[in-house]
Amino acid sequence: MKQLQLQSLELFNFITYKEQIFDFRELFVDSNILLIYGKNFDDSNFANDNGSGKSIIYIALIFLLFNRTTINSDKNLLVGQFSNFMSVKGVFKDDNNLFEIKRFRKHKVHKNNVIFKINNKIKKKSTPTEMDFLIRQTLNIDYKRFVNTSVFESSDERTRLIHLGDKEAKDLLSKMKGLDIFSKCQDIVKKDVNNLDKKIFETNSKIDATIDKIENLKSIIKHHTKLSDVFDQEKTKKIKQITLDNTTIEKEIRKAKAINETEIEKLEEEINELKSVKKPNLKKTQDKLLIINNSLQVINDRVSIIQSNIQNLKDSLRFIDDSRDKIGRTCKHCGSIIKGKNIKRHKKSITNELDLKKKNIFIIMPELERLLQDKNKTELEIRERQKLQEQYIRSRVRIKSIGNEINQIKTSMKKEVDLLKNKINENQNRIIKIKLEQDTSKKVIRNLKEKKKDNKNKISNLKVNNRISKYKLKYKSAWKIGFGKEEIQSFALQSTIKKLNQEIVKISEQMTDGFMEIELSPEKKRTKSTKNIFEFKINIPGKKNLPFKAWSTGQRRRVEVIVSFALMNLEEAPMREIFLDEIFDGLDETGILKSKELLEIEAKESNKRFIVFSHSKDVRRLFPHRVYIRLKNGKSKLMK
């Protein structure tokens, strides 16, 4: 954290200030030393214009940064008479950041809260206390360090090093030089040692508890192993019985299949025999009969014609025999005119023709008989083939019936086999279920063994951790002693005191030309009667080793100035601005001039910016760069 520079301070209704802005960028343009004096127009009783409100400036700054007053009084007393609330706003910067703090008191909305911005970004915390801590942490400021390096208030003896007791003085120097880090380190190491002791104890407890857990797990595993053995025996017995049942069922399946297959084989043999019955070719025989019938019809027709001709011939002969008296008439046979002289010729012609016709019938009759025989034979063959066809049809009906019967047998067999197979599957599922139950039991044992193994590994790890913790404890214990008050802290404090005494010698030579020797001595041993071992020994010619309180007011004031400037040089102040309130009070003219000379050297060499408050007109003339605070009608105001 870089050193802060105060940019501006804005007061609203703060004690006697109604509204006032202190722009330190303008106030320190020409010089790094600014004198502020006062003019009190309200009370002429104040000597040298005291009471105008000069000191209120750093009081406001302390309130802004630390939320307190220098005397730790009621903060509501800081609220002025011009409004119901008051506020203080300060703007600071370092090399990289711009900080803005605005603190309220008795505000209607903001209450007693504070607003903190970094580079115009508001920071938030849950409570005002947390916000105050954030401000101090961010700005790296501490109240006692601040009032000893950034504020010199002549009337305040509670927080100045030279007036502090042993413990408070040590704490202040430790904080200023950062030596409190050793105390913090010791606290951390103490905490680490306690944590390690606790950790070792807890680890040992965990090891013992884990050992007990392992023994318990062994007992449980043993118990479950016995149960598992019993379960295994019972389950093996059940599985064996189910397997036997399955074997019996499989035999039944084979038996049923054999019976049904034998019956099916017989039926299939019958089908094969039935299939040997061939279908007769009835149509061919019928076609043959049709041809015979047609031939018979033709012959019958010829016979009928011949017989008709014969009958006609017979009728013609009879006609001739009966028609002797019918000579001259037309012959019915030949159509000629019958004459008496050709009756015999006609009769012979008819008789010849009649014989021819009879001869033709005689010729036709064997063929007719042959055809009739063929017809009878064909009809007999047709009847035989019809019988064979009926037999063929019956065989096909029987084949179909046997096929249905075979299908029924196969269906029935399939149902029966499926039922038996389902029983086998159910039994197999039962076996699987039993095996799974067996696996579950073994899984419990496996899990317990895994836990046992994990606990053994845990013990191994805990023992390793214990060895590491004991190893760390050995060194932490050494650092606990090393960071103690009698070790590093003591050496560091001695070194700080030595450096402070060197700064005191340097400042004392400038302030007194070596006339006064001042030394902080922490060597005095504590006794029941001696409560303060931090003593400032002051030597001047003729008076040696007198304690600080034994000197006159003027001499004490000069010592205070020397020690304060030495402290400022011992450690860089958190702020570049140094507020010196009535630093010259009690000093003679030489002391004032020496102090002014010291201020000018410090302002030039260390780049500090001094704000000097003084009511003395003699002092006022020594500082050409000055402004004043006017109090009029109860209101303070900066005047240039």
pLDDT tens across 343-394, in order? 777 677 777 777 787 777 777 777 777 777 777 777 777 777 777 777 777 8
- pLDDT of res. 548: 66
Top mean-pLDDT range of 296-310, 465-479, 590-604:
590-604
Q: Is the pLDDT of residue 532 over 50?
A: no
Range of weakest confidence among 182-186, 354-358, 432-436, 451-455: 182-186
In 3D, which of 266, 296, 442, 469 has the Cα closest to residue 372?
296
- pLDDT of res. 323: 55
Range of weakest confidence among 36-40, 494-498, 605-609: 494-498
Instruction: Find the Cα–Cα–Cα–Cα dihedral 479, 480, 484, 489, rounded to 10°.
Output: 40
DSSP secondary-structure letter at 107?
A: B
Tell me which of 297 and 624 has the higher pLDDT. Answer: 624
The Cα 564–Cα 598 span in angstroms is 12
**Local confidence band at 262 (pLDDT 50, 70, 90 cut-offs):** confident
The Cα 482–Cα 190 span in angstroms is 11
- What are phi and psi for residue 136, nearest 5 degrees? -60, -40
Range of weakest confidence among 62-66, 268-272, 519-523, 627-631: 519-523
What structural domains and CATH numbers belong to the chain? 1-141+575-640 (3.40.50.300), 165-173+491-573 (no CATH)
Tell me which of 348 and 236 has the higher pLDDT. Answer: 236
Give me the residue label for tokens 């000893």.
148
- Given a contact cutoff of 8 angstroms between Cβ atoms, the answer to whether 16 and 54 are in contact is no
The Cα 436–Cα 498 span in angstroms is 85
- What are phi and psi for residue 601, nearest 5 degrees? -65, -45
Token duo for residue 563: 């020690």
CA Rg, the chain, in Å? 73
Give me the residue label for tokens 């903060």.
75
- pLDDT of res. 94: 92
- pLDDT of res. 178: 57
Query: What percent of the chain stands above pLDDT 90?
Result: 21
**Local confidence band at 479 (pLDDT 50, 70, 90 cut-offs):** low
Token duo for residue 73: 């009084």
Top mean-pLDDT range of 212-221, 261-270, 482-491, 553-562:
212-221
pLDDT, average across residues 245-251? 87
Cα 456 from chain centroid (whole Å): 32
Report the predicted TM-score, pTM, of the whole model to 2 decimal places. Answer: 0.53
- pLDDT of res. 612: 93
- pLDDT of res. 478: 64
**Local confidence band at 293 (pLDDT 50, 70, 90 cut-offs):** confident
Residue 111, classed as helix, strand or coil, is strand
State the average pLDDT for the chain.
Answer: 79
CB atoms within 10 A of CB 423: 16
pLDDT, average across residues 140-149? 84
- pLDDT of res. 529: 46
Tell me which of 572 and 464 has the higher pLDDT. Answer: 464
Residue 470, classed as helix, strand or coil, is helix
**Local confidence band at 620 (pLDDT 50, 70, 90 cut-offs):** confident
275-285, pLDDT tens digit by residue?
776 766 667 77
Q: Is the pLDDT of residue 190 over 70?
A: yes
The Cα 121–Cα 312 span in angstroms is 156
Range of weakest confidence among 179-188, 363-372, 585-594: 179-188
Range of weakest confidence among 32-46, 239-253, 462-476, 577-591: 462-476
In 3D, which of 131, 78, 471, 428 has the Cα closest to residue 420?
428
Q: Is the pLDDT of residue 423 over 50?
A: yes
Token duo for residue 247: 């074997």
Q: Is the pLDDT of residue 607 over 60?
A: yes
